[in-house]
Structure 1
Amino acid sequence: MPPLPPSLPPFDPRTVPIIGVDAHLPPVAPAAQAPDALRRRFATPPAWTPEIRREPPFMDRPPAQAAVLVPIVMHERPTVLLTERTAHLSTHSGQVAFPGGRTDPEDTDATATALREAEEEVGLAPRQVEVLGELSTYVTGSSFIVTPVVGLVAPGARLTPNPHEVADVFEVPLDYLLDPAHHQRHLLRWQGHEREWFAMPYEDHGRTRFIWGATAGMLRNLYRFLAA
């Protein structure tokens, strides 16, 4: 296959063909999603292998370190807090994402980056997050080396989204995201090249939240970690 082009053509990921749904894989048991079970899992991680480590590059740029916060809200039925990025941002505009971003020089580690970015983007104070640990790094097609930092958040945490970066903040049930019956595989073919990704569309009060790309890939790795 020839080298990947420096960029992909504009496309709507919702219209890209679905080539499979992983309903044959078992969901993570509800008991394993409880806060104490999550604490134990991160305290003594199992042997596991991330399913996705790197996306095919589609942008010619130097690699950059970044981190995201995967905030699990401790409702009776736990949820994951996600954002919709504003349409004018230079990267991943309009997409569903975790709070997070590029590492700053003053950040001491990935956790510091994730907590700082979450506070800047959605107003989630670091003291409101109980950090559990990290998943393996995930390299995006735009050359960001992303460390997902998983944390617990109490329900009712006060949020003040930054309107410059965040168009919306919403929650998706954790058990929905950890059920592979909701994991779609999409395949884009273009000029002899192929790019495959996961998507996890979620119906939210009459609106489809289309979770795909890097965010879905990191959630898939979280599934693999908790199912191991």
Structure 2
Amino acid sequence: MTRPDAIENVARALALPGDTSSDFDLNPGLILPEGRKLRPAGVLCALQQGRDGVDVILTKRSARLKHHPGQIAFPGGKQDPGDADPIAAALREADEEIGLHPDRVEVLGTLPTHETVTSFVVTPVIGFVREPFDERAEAGEVAEIFRVPLSHVTNPANFRVEGRRWQGRKRYYYTVPFGPYYIWGATARMLRALAERVAR
């Protein structure tokens, strides 16, 4: 399958230099604990040609999960001992969570790592889904698989900064809502990093 122009633009954007990001970017006064151990993880920002342009595949996490229930997320997770690197972890998790086999994904590149409040250092992997696949939401972990236009999440004007109280203080974070989906936190921050590069 020929890569759409939007995919070529993303591939070019990934070659640009950029800084790492974190859940704490908008909260510079927050003091992080010394000696914290960060665990490697990978998430897949999967791009696929849709009817009206290129879409980003996202998931809504199950409400029954202990961590981040009901939140919007990329498929992905921690790097296991059998994973060669965070890219392999992201591809394996996408296969497990939504039924997207690695053979159908062309890895375009990665964004700089993102540190989460849960002590993961996440590598956002950007991949082009070259052909249709049979979606399969992992029972117990993924409540829904859905798509958002790439043009929506790469337009910096669609992002907002919001805040809520967390551990006794106001914490600020990015959001990029789309329809009924409230995309925020680490997922929105990583999408914001992609948007900043595409907009250059």
Assess same fold via TM > 0.5: yes
Q: Judge conservation of contact 1:48–1:224 (CA < 8 Å) in 2.
A: no
Spell out the pairing of 1:98-109 with structure 2 (5 A cutoff): 98-109=74-85
For residue 17 of structure 1, what is the aligned residue in structure 2?
none
Partners of 1:54 and 1:172 lie apart in 2 by 22
Alignment length (residue pairs): 190
Match of 1:47 in 2: 17
Q: Does 1:215 align with 2:175?
A: no
Change (3 A) 1:218 1:77: same
Q: Which amino acid aligns with 2:148?
A: V
The amino acid that maps onto 2:41 is A
2: CA distance, partners of 1:121 / 1:151? 16
* Aligned residue identity for 1:151: G
Q: What's 2:157 paired with?
A: 181
Q: How far apart are 1:103 and its partner, in Å?
A: 0.8
Q: Residue in 2 aligned with 1:227?
A: 199
Supply the distance in 2 between the matched residues of 1:86 and 1:210 (Cα, whole angstroms): 15
- Mark the runs of 5 or more structure 1 residues left unpaired by the alignment: 1-31
Q: Distance in 2 between matches of 1:194 and 1:187?
A: 6
Letter paired with 1:70: C
CA RMSD of aligned residues (A): 2.4
Query: Which of these two proteins has the greater Rg computed from alpha carbons?
Result: 1
**1:201 and 1:209 in contact (8 A); partners too:** yes
Structure 2: segments with no counterpart, 5+ residues: none
**Is the contact made by 2:83 and 2:89 (CA closer than 8 Å) also made in structure 1?**
yes
Among 43, 47, 72, the residue aligned to 1:72 = 47
How many angstroms apart in 2 are the aligned matches of 1:129 and 1:66? 18
Partner of residue 69, structure 2? 93
Q: Percent identity?
A: 41
Give the corresponding residue for 2:146.
170
**Local SS of the residue matching 1:156:** coil
**TM-score normalized by the length of structure 1:** 0.76
Report what 1:20 is aligned to: none
Counterpart AA for 1:69: L
CA contact (8 A) 1:114 1:149 kept: yes
**Does the 8 Å contact 1:33/1:78 carry over to 2?**
no
Higher RCO (CA-CA < 8 Å; seq separation 6+): 1
Question: Residue by residue, what CA displacement relative to the aligned partner does 1:28-54 show, whole Å, maximum 9, x if unpaired?
Answer: xxxx96123333444xx123345x334
Shift of 1:159: 1.3
